[in-house]
Amino acid sequence: MTEEIQRQGTMFIFSAPSGGGKSSVIKKLLKELDDIQLSVSVTTRGMREGEVDGKDYYFISEEKFKELVQDKALYEYVDSDFGPKYGTPKKPVDDLLCAGKDVILDLDYPGVQQLRKLAGNRVKAIALVPPSLRVLRERLINRGTDAADVIERRMNMAEKRVKECEFYDYVIVNDDLDAAVMQAKAVILAARAEKQNLCGLETYVRQVLEDK
């Protein structure tokens, strides 16, 4: 009996403006697909009530963060002078990829750029775009979590995000959640059949030919 073809995993980066439905899409993907996990970021901000270290974030000190940057142990990071720092640690991601698991990353365009530099052909960047800014504003208002001025700020950011979609590998319009999830799923499943990710293809072919 031939074994399955061994493959290496892919990093799927999802970006969207606030209210773009990114969290809902990612949640569904993680629920409906096997062999895929969400990357857990490191952060220097304090743990909030209900958060779990190693699940929501790896909560680390400023000191430790600097160390990770110096050791080039992060795939990407946001290092603002004010406010907390965030980053994607390489090791847990690489362990998953090597084991043939896919990894979902929730990042904005600067993260995509950094990831591409360090791991170009293992990255697929997916932009979720809303059907219109009007719909996006409605969603933010209906969500009811943001004050009016925060919504305005988010809407200004959204314009930039939507324009950036041209730099992504895939663009998915999030008009209907199920349709968007179906397309995102297709992107992930297709990558699993991509020849460049099938590191065990040679071995597999040998098995197929030997089993006469």
Which residues bind to a copy of itself, rule: CB under 8 A?
Answer: 1-2, 4-5, 126, 129-135, 137, 159, 162-163, 165-166, 168-173, 182-183, 185-195, 198, 201-202, 204-205, 207-209, 211-212
Within 10 A of 138 (CB to CB), how many other CB atoms are there? 13
**Is the CB of residue 191 less than 8 Å from the CB of residue 102?**
yes
Nearer to a copy of itself, 1 or 52 (CB): 1
Min dist. Cβ of residue 165 to a copy of itself (A):
7
Min dist. Cβ of residue 97 to a copy of itself (A):
19
- Please say whether the dihedral angle defined by the alpha carbons of residues 54, 191, 25 and 171, taken in this order, is positive or negative: positive
Within 10 A of 200 (CB to CB), how many other CB atoms are there? 15
Min dist. Cβ of residue 122 to a copy of itself (A):
16
**Is the CB of residue 75 less than 8 Å from the CB of residue 118?**
yes
Nearer to a copy of itself, 85 or 161 (CB): 161
Nearer to a copy of itself, 74 or 188 (CB): 188
Nearer to a copy of itself, 92 or 100 (CB): 100
User: How big is the CA angle at 26 (ends 144 and 83), to the nearest 5 degrees?
Assistant: 60
In angstroms, the CA 123 to CA 196 distance is 12
In angstroms, the CA 150 to CA 196 distance is 43
Nearer to a copy of itself, 37 or 207 (CB): 207
Min dist. Cβ of residue 183 to a copy of itself (A):
5
* Length of the chain, in residues: 212
Min dist. Cβ of residue 118 to a copy of itself (A):
21
